[in-house]
Structure 1
Amino acid sequence: MEKRALSKEVDLVFFTVLPRHSCVAAVFVRYAQCWKLVTHSQDQNNVLCGVKMDAFRLSHPLMLSTNTPSLGTLRFRSLSARNPRRWLKVEAGSSQKTSKAFDAAAFEAERLALDAEARRAMAEAADPKAWKWVIRKRIWDLMEAHNFANNPRPVHHRIPNFVGASVAAQKMRELEVFQVAQCVKVNPDSPQKQVRFLTLSDGKKLLTPQPRLRTGFFSVLESNLLTLDTIKEACTSVGVAKHGRPIGLDEKIKVDLIVIGSVAVDPRTGARLGKGEGFAELEYGMLRYMGAINDSTPVVTSVHDCQLVDDDIPVEKLLIHDVPVDIICTPTQVIFTNTSIPKPQGIYWDKLSPEKLGQIRILRELKKRIEKETGQKLPTGPSEKLPPTAQRSRRG
């Protein structure tokens, strides 16, 4: 008996199903643009039992037997296909003892894997950003399980305060882009606290956002106005409020380097994921609006080595306002990503949800100003459910 694989030619299968018994009544396959009857069952009146046709994609190669004369019937060893409502397994062909037994365990494993893939696809269709949360949770869980983070814990829904953050900060200090920078914008999260300290202790100007942009915009701290003791205090949120000078959108300032926190970052592409609240992207967009930065302004992040995710962040799924990084500093290495991902050009109002806009006063004020100046109403993005904030539970 001559057999040849049709896995490339056969691309679609139709089953007719007995609904009460969930059994196969007939199977048709399409190959070479033609439909063929594979197998069928008949009732006592010699009438085809099938009542409904369902389409399936093949998940196993289909084998064609060329010596079957009746009905041009195709015989196959086994075929499994997935339906949104049920799974069907067809066993056909030779009944000889040499036939390969049905591997129930392998079939169940494949079924579970494909069901999980279907759930993932459904979740992503409902929320295009769902895939990001899968990566974030994996990193957060890993850091908690292996104690790769210092307080505040747990790290979930945070920029993790990773073990070795001060070492990574020192590596950043040694970068030429840091040494020549006169003004450095640094995020207010715990793992970048040492970066803020080094910025001020090296005589530079520090630009840092007010936490979650709740009460204002950015604060500027001038190192020449601080002592060593007040520099340490100025690296905290309380110290920023005490020693910093709040600035507005009309401030004329040039930022030479941006330091940004991350949950995960791809060293191959520079693609980055934050904690999911979008503040880093908004801060970047507002600085672009002010003219404080441009495409050539370096973006640096510091992370634990376990936060490096090779090829796990699909560049094609990134949004237009996602900020890539040029340099990654970990406790063990410095990585120049040579990213080709475009940097955001400003604030994308059509991506900004009403809920996020309602959180940030400076954005509401900016939106009103632009609408007044242009006489045109700016678009608003789709509504969203804002992600939860981190819970503080200190551990020893």
Structure 2
Amino acid sequence: MQSYLNRNFTCSFSPGSGLPKRQSPRRHFGRVMSAGSSEGKRNSLSEQQLEETEDERLAKDQQAREQMKALSEAATTVGSGPGSWKWPIRKRVWKLLEEKGVARDPKPIDHRIPNFAGADEAAQRLAALQEFENAEVIKVNPDTPQKGVRMRVLGGGKTLVTPQPRLRTGFFSTLHRDRIASAELPFACTSAGVREHGAPVSLQDDLRVGLVVVGSVAVNPANGCRIGKGEGFAELEYGIMRWMGAVDEHTLVVTTVHDLQLVDDIEEGQMLEHDVPVDIVVTPTQVIRTGTLHQKPPGILWEKLSPQKLAQIRILRELKASIEAETGQKLPTGPDEVLPPIAKRGPRRRGGRRGRQSRGGRRA
């Protein structure tokens, strides 16, 4: 019997009763698409189509960032909402990284998990940990500063689990080094490469993750409390994995950040129920074991999810509908919220100036 539990709603599922049951255990490893599939489709597009698609994508991306900036300004000014206190910290850290000259592309770094000088050194320091060595399956966020972590997961012969950006087009994908040519490894660690080389994970897969790596805007090393860029996808990804049984409260959560992203004004008492703390912080210069006492989320907190957020994430809509159909009970829904527009992503070129720009590992 598999149980699903959150604060306001409890239900159980029998393995033989339909969704969200588990099917027989199986692993998805990487795959290499045929030469005539997505790559052929990309090459069949004219240069003009590619240029127009990229320009449209960049315009939409800028629109999304401007809208998020406006929302953050409103939250800071009005002071409403339980997480509004996080915005001044985010802005301070983004500004500090720029002022100290350690911010790296993609820029501007505000409203992103910021890339930083020394990100690869932090990834190498993480890869040297015994916890990393022991884990056979590692989940890593798809942001640029963690690209070095993703490469070391695959380079070490491990299975990489990474989410689709913003969970918008799908769910998680898995990649394995044995199915990826050495020359393709850097590309496979980008969002476009994951689409090409990754195998999709379903909610019924018997996935077991040994280590979780998340990006952060700021983290307090004294208590393991972190904040992201403000969209809540790391928390949603973690909640889904808890629901699947892919992780539990003992699964270590790690973040890699620059030393300037370490702060002392994120208090445990301020953290929300869905916030995911970290057990280990790795910077280019040090490893910090936080000994966090903040509880990790027990699963998907449906009462926190607005109708607008559900409308963005297909996998959650499908799961919610399945649970409600299975139990005959309606799950709670969170209050309405205004979300920024999501940037459109068109076909991407591999190589060339625009191709390199579009393969920056953004989550958008």
SS in 2 for 1:339: coil
1:315 positional shift: 1.4
- Give, in whole Å, the separation in 2 of the partners of 1:120 and 1:328: 28
Q: Does 1:316 align with 2:269?
A: yes
- Give, in whole Å, the separation in 2 of the partners of 1:318 and 1:239: 35
Alignment of 1:144-159 (within 5 A): 144-159=98-113
Q: Does 1:161 align with 2:115?
A: yes
Alignment of 1:256-275 (within 5 A): 256-275=210-229
What is the CA deviation profile of residues 264-297 of structure 1, one whole-angstrom value per residue up to 9, with x for unaligned ones? 0000000000000000000000000100000110
SS in 2 for 1:221: strand
Name the TM-score, length of structure 1 as normaliser.
0.66
1:238 positional shift: 1.1
Which of 235, 240, 254 in structure 1 is aligned with 2:194?
Answer: 240
1:387 positional shift: 5.0
Which of 78, 96, 100 in structure 2 is aligned with 1:142?
Answer: 96
Alignment of 1:267-346 (within 5 A): 267-310=221-264, 312-346=265-299
Residue number in structure 2 paired with 1:123 = 78
Structure 1 residues 244 and 120, CA gap change in structure 2 (3 angstroms): closer
1:227 positional shift: 2.0
Checking the alignment, whether the CA contact within 8 Å between 1:206 and 1:220 is kept in structure 2 is yes
Q: How well do the aligned residues superpose, as a CA RMSD in angstroms?
A: 1.9
Checking the alignment, whether the CA contact within 8 Å between 1:277 and 1:387 is kept in structure 2 is no
SS in 2 for 1:157: coil
What is the CA deviation profile of residues 31-58 of structure 1, one whole-angstrom value per residue up to 9, with x for unaligned ones? xxxxxxxxxxxxxxxxxxxxxxxxxxxx
Query: What is the identity, as a one-letter code, of the residue corresponding to 2:191?
Result: S
Q: Does 1:215 align with 2:173?
A: no
Alignment of 1:18-33 (within 5 A): none
Aligned length: 272
Q: Does 1:188 align with 2:161?
A: no
- Give, in whole Å, the separation in 2 of the partners of 1:332 and 1:388: 37
Please state which structure has a larger fraction of its residues in strand: 1
Structure 1 residues 122 and 165, CA gap change in structure 2 (3 angstroms): closer
Q: Does 1:347 align with 2:300?
A: yes
Name the TM-score, length of structure 2 as normaliser.
0.72
Query: What is the identity, as a one-letter code, of the residue corresponding to 1:316?
Result: G
Residue number in structure 2 paired with 1:230 = 184
Query: What is the identity, as a one-letter code, of the residue corresponding to 1:200?
Result: L
Structure number, greater radius of gyration: 1
Residue number in structure 2 paired with 1:385 = 338
Residue number in structure 2 paired with 1:57 = none
- Give, in whole Å, the separation in 2 of the partners of 1:264 and 1:121: 17
Query: What is the identity, as a one-letter code, of the residue corresponding to 2:292?
Result: T
- Give, in whole Å, the separation in 1 of the partners of 2:246 and 2:165: 20
1:389 positional shift: 7.0
Query: What is the identity, as a one-letter code, of the residue corresponding to 2:210?
Result: D
Structure 1 residues not aligned, in runs of 5+: 1-118
1:120 positional shift: 9.4
1:151 positional shift: 0.4
Please state which structure has a larger fraction of its residues in helix: 2
Structure 1 residues 230 and 204, CA gap change in structure 2 (3 angstroms): same
SS in 1 for 2:115: coil
Checking the alignment, whether the CA contact within 8 Å between 2:174 and 2:198 is kept in structure 1 is yes
Checking the alignment, whether the CA contact within 8 Å between 2:304 and 2:335 is kept in structure 1 is yes
Checking the alignment, whether the CA contact within 8 Å between 1:186 and 1:260 is kept in structure 2 is yes
What is the CA deviation profile of residues 135-186 of structure 1, one whole-angstrom value per residue up to 9, with x for unaligned ones? 1011111112222111000101000001100000000001111001100000
SS in 2 for 1:280: helix
Query: What is the identity, as a one-letter code, of the residue corresponding to 1:123?
Result: V
- Give, in whole Å, the separation in 2 of the partners of 1:388 and 1:342: 32
Structure 1 residues 319 and 209, CA gap change in structure 2 (3 angstroms): same
- Structure scoring higher RCO (CA < 8 A, sep ≥ 6) equals 2
Q: Does 1:200 align with 2:154?
A: yes
- Give, in whole Å, the separation in 1 of the partners of 2:342 and 2:111: 6
SS in 1 for 2:321: helix
SS in 1 for 2:247: coil
Checking the alignment, whether the CA contact within 8 Å between 1:201 and 1:228 is kept in structure 2 is no
Alignment of 1:38-117 (within 5 A): none
- Give, in whole Å, the separation in 1 of the partners of 2:77 and 2:163: 36
The percent identity for this pair of structures is 58
